[in-house]
Every structure is written in C-alpha cells, then in structure tokens.
C-alpha cells in the first residue's frame, strides 16, 4: 500500500511540476504595471471609520440646506416688505396748468327786460265797459285799450257844471251891484263903507267862480280816465280784467289791480352781474354777444351802455346794462341769456380742471407734486368755466397738479405721479 502510495505521489509530482510551470508562465504573461486605486465612497463605508465620515457629510449638507432656506426666506421677506412699502405709496394722476384762459370770452348769465314797460291802472272808479286789445297785441301811443263806465263821476260833473253856472250868475249880479254902488258913491248918495262892501262881494264871487271851474275841470279829467289809452308804443303782455269787472282807482286803493301790462320791445335791456374780478375790464361802449340755450347758433350783438359804477356789497358784482336792437323780435322780455364779453387774459393766468380744487376751511387749495411729495398750495380763482377754472395766482405751468385728490390728502405725503395717464390733457 505504501509503495503504491509512494509511486502515486511520485507519479503525480511530475504532473504537478508541469502544472506549476504552466501557472508561473501564465502569471508572468498576465502581469500589468501597477496603478493607483480610485477612491469610492463604498470603500470608506467598507473601510474602518466610514460611518463617521458619512455623518459629517450629512451634517454639512443639512446645515447648507438650512442656511439656504433662511437665505431664501429672508429674500422673500425683504421683497414682500419692499412690495408692501411700494403699495403703501399712492399713485396719483397729475396734469400741468395751461397758460391763459380756456377762452378769452367771459360768459355770464343775463336777464332781458323791455326797454320801457309799465303796468296800467285806472284813475277812476267804475265798471269795465269794453276792452279792445288782448295779450300779444301791438299798440301805438294813444290807442284806446278799454273803456270804463263811471256814472257817479258823470253825475258829479253835471252837478259841478250847474253849480258853476249859479256861481257865475251870482258873480255877475255882484259886479252890477258893485258898479251901482260906485256910481252912488260918486254922487255921495251912499257911504264909502257900503261901496267897499259891494266891491268885496264882487271879488269874492269871482273867486267862487274860479274854484267852481277848477272842480269842473277835475271832474272832466276824471271822466277822461274812463278811456284807458296806451302811454307808448309797445306790446300788451298781460290783461287782468274783463267786461263788467269793478274797477277801483289806482290811487284810492291800498292794493290796486293792474288792468294791462305794456312793454316796449323794439329795444331791450340786458342786465348782467359781472364779478368784481372783471369789473375793471368792462368798459361802456364795448360790444357784447348774446346767446340763448334755445337757439345757441343765433348770436345777437349788443352794446354796453352803462354800469352801476359800484360793487354790490352782497353779491360782490358789478351791474352792467347791455342794450340790444330787437326790431326783428329775436329776444323776448324776461328771457334768460348768456352774455359774452371779450376780456384780455392776465399774464399770470392759468387754467386747470375743476376736479383738482380742494375746498378746505382755510380756503381753496390744490395738491402739487414736488420731489414725489405733496404740497397743498393756496390759489385764487378768477372765473369758473364749468369743467375748468381760471387761476389768477398760486400756480405756474411747471407745476404738476393732482387730479381728483382725496379729502385725506395732506402736505408732505409721499406719492407716485402718473404722468402718462394724463398726457395731453389740459
């Protein structure tokens, strides 16, 4: 057994040696140059102390994430605060004042009155017998408008005329008696006293005749008042009586009734209240143009004839009269018209929209943007044109005036001016 075993070992050795040589040869053939090994995280994990290293890296990443989050949050807060501050600054629309007035015409309302007009009353008592003209009728001076029946006046006149005849007869008798007594006095048949008495009676009779004649003339005049006639050429604008009405004399009643109203309309007066600001530019002799809302295309020329030469202390206006030739009948008495006066514009006058004015207790103010802050500037208004107002002091064309200012607007408030929204506006 041992020998077999030995022989087996021996027999196997040569093969083993051969295999060893082949292996060596193969190893020699597979040898490559040495190189550095690459570093991998897995090597750290698998190496000694790898868990501690990964913990440090995780802490660094966590701290960086926290710092980044804080930075982002701080940025957002700053941005929000900036946006909040920006939103807290109000944005206002601004407009620059325009030099001069919107129009060089001063337009003011006026009242039209007839050049001459009068109510017509009766000067005697009676009943209306007849009227001849109604409203709208044109009459001439002296034309009969109505007749009044006055039976009492007629009877009084007849009585006075009869009384006058009686007194005249007594006067004639007194004259004859006086002459006779004078003849007798010349013959010394009567005394001087008796002759003087007769003469005095004659003189008294003459005075009684004169008084009676005056009373007759008075009653005749009252009788003439039975005829109501036109005092001038004009138009009947009112008739307040009719046939059969009881007529009371105008002077004998505390509240007499007007029978007719007559107006001369060939020439008209237009009274205009001119503000005190323009009182010094209104001159007598200047022309004025009149227009009406009912017919705005028709322009009527007038002339300033007179003014009150005094400012009304209540309205602070100057009363101006404009006379108009109205023979064509374009205007009616009592009409409401607009008078256009041409006035020169002031050198420092500017015009701003009316929705820029603030009404404060201390006076008129406008908000002006200067260096992105509000300043409330006091102004003086010359004339109100409706949509715009004329400012005679307080503003220049370089100012930026706030449109539609709020009541809470105060000086020093920070604002942002929006100039593009109002570009091109007056």
pLDDT digit string, tens, across residues 340-367:
998 776 667 888 999 999 988 888 999 9
Torsion of CA 393, 394, 399, 404, to 10 degrees: -100
**pLDDT at position 104, please?**
66
Largest Cα span, the chain? 246
User: Is residue 187 over pLDDT 50?
Assistant: yes
Same domain, 128 and 216: yes
Please name the helix (run of DSSP H) or strand (run of DSSP E) that holds residue 93, with its range, or none: strand 91-95
Among 24-33, 332-341, 404-413, the range of highest mean pLDDT: 332-341
User: And the tokens for 143?
Assistant: 């034309």
- Residue 209 vs residues 173, 206, 212, 221, 400: alpha-carbon distances, Å: 13, 5, 5, 18, 92
**Is the pLDDT at 52 greater than 50, yes or no?**
yes
| Statement to judge: residues 96 and 147 lie in one domain | no
Q: What does R_g of the chain's alpha carbons equal in angstroms?
A: 60
What is the percentage of the chain residues whose pLDDT exceeds 70? 82
CA distance 179 to 75: 141
Which of 189, 217, 247 terminates a domain? The answer is 247
Measured distance CA(201)–CA(177) in Å, rounded: 9
Judgement on whether residues 98 and 140 belong to the same structural domain of the protein: no
Instruction: Judge whether 81 lies within some domain.
Output: no
pLDDT at 424: 45
**What would the mean pLDDT of 171-190 be, rounded to a whole number?**
85
Nearest-angstrom CA–CA distance, 113 and 335: 8
Domain-located, residue 292? no
What is residue 266's predicted lDDT score, i.e. its pLDDT? 92
For the residues 230-239, what does the mean pLDDT come to? 94
Whole-Å CA distances, 180 to 41, 172, 370: 180, 13, 116
Instruction: Please give the helix or strand (H or E) that residue 156 lies within, else none.
Output: helix 151-186
Same domain, yes or no: 161 and 233:
yes
Domain boundary among 220, 247, 274: 247
Q: Which of 197, 230, 247 is the last residue of a domain?
A: 247
pLDDT band at residue 240 under the 50/70/90 scheme: very high
| DSSP helix/strand/coil, 44 | helix
The pTM of the whole model exceeds 0.85: no
Tokens of 216: 């007759």
Are 156 and 206 within one domain? yes
Q: Is residue 289 part of a domain?
A: no
Residue 58 has pLDDT above 90, yes or no: no
Q: Do residue 228 and residue 144 come from a single domain? A: yes
Task: Indicate whether 186 belongs to any domain.
Answer: yes
Per-residue pLDDT, averaged over 282-292, amounts to 92
Both tokens assigned to 16: 């083993």
Confidence of residue 3 (pLDDT cuts 50, 70, 90): very low
The verdict on 96 and 129 lying in the same domain is no
Q: Which residues constitute the domain of residue 191?
A: 122-247
Query: Mean pLDDT throughout 276-303?
Result: 89
Shared domain for 241 and 160, answered yes or no, is yes
Could you tell me what percent of the chain has a pLDDT over 90? 38
Report which DSSP code applies to 16.
H
Q: Are 182 and 214 in the same domain?
A: yes
Q: What is the DSSP letter of 394?
A: S
The answer to the question of residue 384 being in a domain is yes
187/146 same-domain check: yes
Q: How many domains does the chain have?
A: 2
Residue 197 lies in a domain: yes
pLDDT at 40 over 80: no
237 and 146 within one domain:
yes
Q: Rounded distance, CA 390 to CA 344, Å?
A: 13
Question: At residue 412, what are phi and psi to the nearest 5 degrees?
Answer: 90, -10
The whole-number average pLDDT for the span 94-116 is 83
Taking residues 397-422, report their average pLDDT: 85
List the CATH number of the domain containing 410: 2.40.420.20
The confidence band for 140, taking pLDDT boundaries of 50, 70 and 90, is: very high
CB count within 10 Å of CB 409 equals 18
Are 137 and 215 part of one and the same domain?
yes
Lowest mean pLDDT, pick from 2-16, 51-65, 157-171, 283-297: 2-16
Residue 312 lies inside a defined structural domain of this protein? no
- Whether 328 is in a domain gets the answer no
């Amino acid at each position: 057994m041992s020998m077999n075993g030995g022989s087996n070992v021996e027999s196997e050795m040569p093969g083993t040696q051969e295999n060893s040589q082949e292996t060596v040869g193969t190893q020699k053939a597979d040898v490559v140059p040495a190189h550095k090994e690459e570093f991998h995280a897995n090597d750290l994990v698998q190496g000694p102390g790898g868990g501690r290293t990964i913990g440090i890296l995780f802490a660094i990443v966590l701290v960086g994430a926290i710092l980044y989050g804080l930075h982002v949050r701080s940025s957002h807060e700053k941005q929000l605060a900036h946006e909040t501050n920006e939103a807290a600054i109000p944005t206002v629309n601004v407009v620059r004042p325009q030099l001069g007035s919107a129009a060089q015409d001063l337009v003011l309302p006026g009242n039209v009155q007839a050049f001459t007009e009068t109510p017509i009353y009766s000067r005697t008592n009676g009943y209306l017998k007849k009227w001849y003209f109604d409203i709208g009728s044109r009459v001439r001076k002296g034309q009969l408008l109505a007749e009044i029946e006055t039976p009492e006046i007629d009877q009084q006149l007849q009585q006075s005329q009869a009384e006058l005849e009686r007194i005249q007869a007594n006067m004639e008798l007194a004259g004859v008696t006086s002459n006779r007594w004078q003849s007798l006095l010349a013959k010394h048949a009567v005394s001087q006293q008796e002759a003087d008495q007769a003469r005095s009676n004659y003189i008294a009779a003459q005075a009684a005749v004169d008084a009676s004649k005056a009373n007759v003339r008075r009653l005749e005049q009252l009788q003439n008042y039975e005829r109501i006639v036109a005092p001038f050429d004009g138009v009947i604008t009112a008739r307040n009586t009719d046939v059969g009405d009881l007529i009371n004399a105008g002077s004998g009643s505390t509240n007499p009734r007007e029978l007719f109203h007559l107006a001369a309309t060939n020439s008209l007066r237009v009274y205009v209240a001119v503000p005190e600001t323009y009182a010094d530019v209104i001159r007598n002799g200047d022309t004025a143009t009149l227009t009406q809302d009912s017919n705005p295309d028709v322009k009527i020329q007038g002339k300033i004839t007179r003014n009150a030469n005094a400012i009304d202390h209540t309205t602070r206006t100057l009363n101006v009269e404009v006379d108009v030739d109205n023979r064509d009948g374009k205007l009616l008495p009592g009409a409401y018209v607009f008078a256009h006066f041409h006035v020169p514009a002031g050198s420092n006058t500017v015009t701003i929209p009316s929705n820029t004015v603030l009404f404060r207790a201390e006076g008129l103010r406008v908000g002006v943007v200067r260096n992105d802050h509000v300043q409330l500037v006091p102004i003086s208004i010359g004339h109100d044109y409706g949509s715009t107002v004329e400012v005679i002091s307080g503003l220049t064309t370089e100012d930026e005036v706030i449109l539609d200012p709020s009541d809470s607007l105060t000086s020093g408030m920070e604002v942002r001016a929006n100039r593009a929204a109002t570009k091109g506006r007056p």
